[in-house]
């Protein structure tokens, strides 16, 4: 028997598969479509202090190798999340991690304090990729000092596990990751989307109402996979890989590169049943490989010499 459970940031999850923020709403919207019994945790749609209407439509555009989204953090706000959404999400047979975003360290702390005190909350994901209006020229996700301030404030506000969601856009992602770890983050999510756009050649207009969106899907996987490899060697906290996972092999690559768990997102829109296929596929692969636990795959690729290294050794 293969044990699919993992422990990350002090949480014991039934599987290493998490559902990425925003891809299944607050969770119950996909009840009956997704086998939540095989999901380690859902990460809710990002919650902000006040309700947000989001960006102007269209908000989604398919592209070769992925999808562009420009949702704009549409959500019901903290008050309604606590009164309506959190308790409903907790009825699903999986853990609930709440994604939060604020315009300042104080807002992040207030969100974490209010949501973190609820028993239904297993952990919090800090979405530092959101716009930071207080510093127009240096985005929060690229500023190690700013990230440290946010994580420290969140850490003081709650004892629940903190997952720091990084952006692949940062010029020095390792410095941001190290700052987050030192400030108290329990795990890293690697990572968010890349900026992109599409133009309708017939109308000559951008296909998204906000012109630009975040690229997710298979085209993102090589970028974030490389970041997982690099960061897993540079930090001491566990990593959740995210970006372009559609098959068992995609998830396995992230584990082999150093991730302890992984998030599935864009693939859910086309095939909600992909959740069961990935977890079942990993269990079957592990049984074939003689590995009793999926955690046995984490970082395994770093122990294998590349063809180039073997040639040099010879």
Mean pLDDT of all residues in 117-138: 79
> What tokens were used for 228?
């997982």
**Could you report the per-residue pLDDT of 28-79, keeping only the tens digit for each?**
999 999 999 999 999 999 999 999 999 999 999 999 999 999 999 999 999 9
Note the helical H segments in the chain.
Answer: 77-80, 86-89, 105-116, 144-157, 173-183, 221-234, 248-257, 266-270, 274-289, 307-313
Can you give the pLDDT at residue 133? 41
- Of residues 83, 88, 92, the one with CA closest to residue 35: 92
Q: Which residues contact 209 (CB under 8 A, 6 or more apart)?
A: 55, 56, 57, 58, 59, 70
Question: Is the N-terminal amide bond of 191 cis, ω within 30° of 0?
Answer: yes
Is the distance from CB of 299 to CB of 41 less than 8 angstroms? no
- Cα torsion for 187, 185, 84, 216, to the nearest 10°? -50
**Could you report the per-residue pLDDT of 102-113, keeping only the tens digit for each?**
999 999 999 999
Return d(Cα 88, Cα 85) in angstroms, integer: 5
pTM of this structure: 0.95
**Could you report the per-residue pLDDT of 157-174, keeping only the tens digit for each?**
999 999 999 999 999 999
Catalytic: which of 78, 114, 126, 130? 130
Return d(Cα 242, Cα 193) in angstroms, integer: 9
**Domains along the chain with CATH numbers:** 6-313 (3.20.20.70)
Is the distance from CB of 240 to CB of 259 less than 8 angstroms? yes
DSSP 8-state code for residue 207: S
Q: Is 130 a catalytic residue?
A: yes
Q: How confident is the model at residue 132 (pLDDT cuts 50, 70, 90)?
A: very low
Return d(Cα 263, Cα 312) in angstroms, integer: 37
Residue 293, classified by CB atoms within 10 Å of its CB into exposed (0-12), middle (13-18) or buried (19+), is middle
């Amino acid at each position: 028997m293969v044990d699919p459970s993992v422990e990350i940031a002090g949480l014991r999850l039934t599987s290493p598969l998490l559902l990425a923020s925003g891809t299944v709403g607050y969770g119950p919207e996909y009840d009956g479509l997704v086998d939540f019994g095989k999901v380690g945790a859902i990460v809710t749609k990002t919650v902000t202090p006040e309700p947000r209407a989001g960006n102007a439509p269209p908000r989604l555009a398919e592209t070769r190798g992925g999808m562009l989204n420009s949702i704009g953090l549409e959500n019901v706000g903290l008050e309604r999340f606590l009164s309506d959404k959190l308790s409903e999400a907790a009825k699903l047979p999986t853990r609930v991690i709440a994604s939060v975003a604020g315009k300042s360290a104080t807002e992040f702390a207030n969100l974490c304090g209010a949501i973190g005190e609820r028993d239904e909350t297993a952990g919090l994901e800090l979405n530092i990729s959101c716009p930071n209006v207080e510093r127009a020229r240096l985005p929060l996700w690229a500023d190690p000092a700013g990230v440290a301030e946010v994580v420290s404030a969140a850490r003081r506000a709650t004892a629940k596990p903190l997952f720091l969601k990084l952006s692949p856009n940062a010029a020095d992602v390792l410095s941001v990751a190290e700052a987050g770890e030192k400030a108290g983050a329990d795990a890293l999510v690697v990572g968010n989307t890349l900026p992109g756009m599409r133009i309708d050649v017939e109308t000559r207009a951008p296909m998204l109402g906000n012109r630009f969106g975040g690229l997710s899907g298979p085209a993102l996987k090589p970028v974030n996979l490389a970041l997982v490899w690099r960061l897993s060697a540079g930090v001491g906290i566990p990593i959740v890989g995210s970006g372009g996972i559609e098959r068992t092999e995609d998830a396995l690559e992230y584990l082999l590169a150093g991730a302890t768990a992984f998030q599935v997102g864009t693939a859910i829109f086309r095939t909600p049943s992909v959740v069961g296929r990935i977890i079942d596929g990993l269990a079957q692969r592990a049984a074939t490989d003689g590995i009793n636990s999926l955690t046995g795959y984490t970082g395994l690729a770093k122990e294998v010499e590349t063809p180039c290294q073997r040639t040099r050794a010879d």
